[in-house]
């Protein structure tokens, strides 16, 4: 789908448009992993294409019949992000989530299907918000998404935008395994887009009206009181003895075989402390080996030294070490279809994937770091740790 109108370059500079595309590429690209785990299929979301159109110019005929998913930002950002997806893609996503294969005739976009796609988009945009929080360095939260079928495109556009209001349309390619290679569109207002890139110091006013530095004008030269002396007037300084032409030896040769007289003489450097005396060997002048001052070699000490922290670093470290983390123990897990979960009653027994007496997994903030045996301590359950990851692996897992 291409826009029918202009690109409205006066509203956003090309650098700002590229920034929007890169931000959305990072945020939604990271959420592809979450959706892939949820659907148990390889999910790819490709680099986006950003266009600026008015609501009246915006079209999505290539996605009809379409489904809209509305996401509202409740903190960190102010605005609404609307996703437009093909109904056929929604059918595939819902089928994977419910582990049911729907045909086009059997699929009905009912309350359960809309709830399923909302859950997928909630997981997807939740991961995207987490990536945005890290990228923009501020907490960002969203409300639970709501979804609905788009019955009338004109009414849909008027629900969120005015006809002449510029909007940002971001086109993504969506690939789910071998099942679909399709497209979806993310729509947001111009204000929300500018809020996204404001954290990076971009702004239309700063990019469009940056004044060029005024050229430096040379001050007029004062009228000379006397004729300017010739360049040779400065006091003579002793010339270095190296590379003087010799009438008997011809031109002094450089290391590249080019006569020294062919080069323009550079400004005379400061005389070094010691100057070797040249020795003529054939047509080549080479300096004698000067006397060198030999000193004992000093080596860097590679022994481990205790790191000394400043007061601020020590306070920061103590603050980090005092952050509470949630420690959970998982005795096992299993998977059930949604229809089976709805049939749960009091007394239902779930068979887990671990045998009795097996070690349990210990998680910190959702990351497994250890294994252990279940024990009882003063009428409370406990875990005796038998295997644990190294401190480096634990820190990397919690990043």
- Flag whether 255 is in a domain: no
Would residue 144 count as lying in a domain?
A: yes
The pLDDT assigned to 230 comes to 52
Low-confidence ranges of the chain (pLDDT < 70): 1-9, 199-307, 397-399
Q: What is the pTM of this model?
A: 0.49
Collapsing DSSP states into helix, strand and coil, what is residue 236? coil
Helices (H), the chain: 14-39, 87-98, 111-136, 153-160, 190-198, 204-208, 311-321, 338-342, 391-398
CATH value at residue 179: 3.40.1550.10
Tell me if 250 is assigned to some domain: no
Q: Give, as one character, the DSSP assignment of residue 361.
A: E
Quote the pLDDT of residue 84. Answer: 92
Domain end point (choices 205, 238, 267): 205
Of 152, 180, 205, the residue at which a domain comes to its end is 205
Last residue of a domain, one of 205, 228, 250: 205
Distance, in Å, from the CA atom of 13 to the CA atom of 209, rounded to the nearest integer, reads: 11
68/74 Cα distance (integer angstroms):
19
In-domain check, residue 60: yes
C-alpha closest to that of 331 among 354, 347, 348, 349: 354
* Parent domain of 115: 14-205
Q: What pLDDT, on the 0 to 100 scale, is given for residue 101?
A: 83
Residue 360 has which token pair? Answer: 């349990």
Residues 6+ apart with CB under 8 A from 9: 52
Q: Are residues 188 and 41 in the same domain?
A: yes
pLDDT at residue number 296: 67
Instruction: Choose among 227, 281, 291: nearest CA to 252.
Output: 281
297-331 pLDDT, tens digit per residue, is: 666 665 655 667 788 777 777 777 777 888 888 88
Q: Is 16 exposed, middle or buried (0-12, 13-18, 19+ CB in 10 A)?
A: buried
Please count the other Cβ atoms lying within 10 Å of the Cβ belonging to residue 145.
23
Say if residues 123 and 34 touch (Cβ distance below 8 Å).
Answer: yes
Which residue bears the tokens 């469009």? 208
Q: pLDDT tens digits for 260-277?
A: 444 444 555 555 555 555
Q: How many CB atoms lie within 10 A of CB 85?
A: 23
pLDDT, position 272: 53
Residue 118: how many CB atoms within 10 A of its CB? 17
CATH number at residue 358: 2.30.330.10
> Considering the domain boundaries, does residue 282 fall inside one?
no
Nearest to 115 by CA among 101, 94, 85, 142: 94
Alpha-carbon distance 80 to 50, whole Å?
17
284 lies in some domain: no
The DSSP annotation for 20-70 comes to: HHHHHHHHHHHHHHHHHHHHTS-EEEPPPEEEEEETTT---GGG-SEEEEE
Token readout for 94 is: 């819902």
CA–CA separation, 16 vs 63, rounded Å? Answer: 27
Asked whether residue 46 is assigned to any structural domain, the reply reads yes
Tokens read off for 292: 């060198």
Report pLDDT for 304. 56
Q: How many domains does the chain have?
A: 2
> Is the residue at 27 inside a domain?
yes
């Amino acid at each position: 789908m291409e826009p029918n109108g202009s690109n409205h370059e006066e509203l956003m500079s090309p650098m700002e448009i590229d920034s929007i595309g890169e931000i959305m590429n990072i945020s939604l690209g990271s959420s592809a992993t979450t959706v892939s785990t949820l659907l148990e299929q390889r999910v790819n979301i490709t680099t986006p294409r950003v266009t600026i159109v008015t609501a009246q110019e915006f079209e999505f005929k290539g996605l009809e019949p379409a489904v809209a998913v509305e996401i509202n930002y409740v903190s960190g950002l102010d605005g609404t992000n609307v996703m437009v997806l093909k109904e056929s893609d929604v059918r595939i996503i819902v089928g994977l989530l419910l582990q049911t294969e729907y045909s086009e005739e059997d699929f009905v976009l009912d309350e359960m299907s809309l709830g399923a796609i909302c859950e997928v988009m909630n997981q997807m945009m939740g991961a995207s918000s987490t990536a945005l929080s890290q990228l923009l360095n501020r907490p960002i939260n969203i409300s639970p998404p709501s979804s609905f079928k788009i019955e009338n495109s004109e009414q849909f556009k008027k629900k969120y935008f005015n006809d002449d209001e510029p909007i940002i349309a971001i086109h993504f390619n969506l690939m789910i395994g071998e099942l679909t290679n399709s497209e979806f569109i993310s729509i947001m207002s111009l204000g929300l887009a500018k809020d996204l890139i404001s954290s990076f110091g971009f702004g239309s006013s700063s990019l469009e009206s940056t004044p060029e530095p005024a050229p430096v004008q040379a001050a007029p030269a004062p009228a000379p009181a006397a004729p300017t002396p010739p360049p040779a007037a400065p006091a003579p300084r002793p010339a270095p003895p190296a590379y003087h032409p010799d009438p008997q030896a011809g031109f002094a040769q450089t290391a590249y075989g080019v006569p020294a007289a062919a080069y323009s003489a550079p400004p005379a450097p400061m005389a070094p402390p010691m100057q070797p005396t040249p020795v003529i060997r054939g047509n080549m002048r080479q300096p004698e080996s000067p006397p060198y001052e030999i000193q004992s070699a000093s080596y860097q000490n590679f022994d481990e030294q205790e790191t000394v922290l400043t007061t601020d670093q020590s306070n920061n470290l103590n603050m980090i070490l005092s952050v509470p983390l949630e420690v959970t123990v998982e005795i096992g897990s299993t998977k059930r279809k949604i229809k089976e979960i709805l049939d749960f009653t009091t007394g239902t027994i779930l068979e887990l994937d671990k045998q009795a007496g097996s070690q349990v997994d210990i998680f910190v903030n959702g990351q497994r770091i250890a294994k252990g045996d279940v024990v009882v301590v003063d009428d409370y359950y406990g875990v005796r740790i038998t295997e644990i990851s190294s401190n480096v692996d634990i820190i990397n897992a919690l990043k």
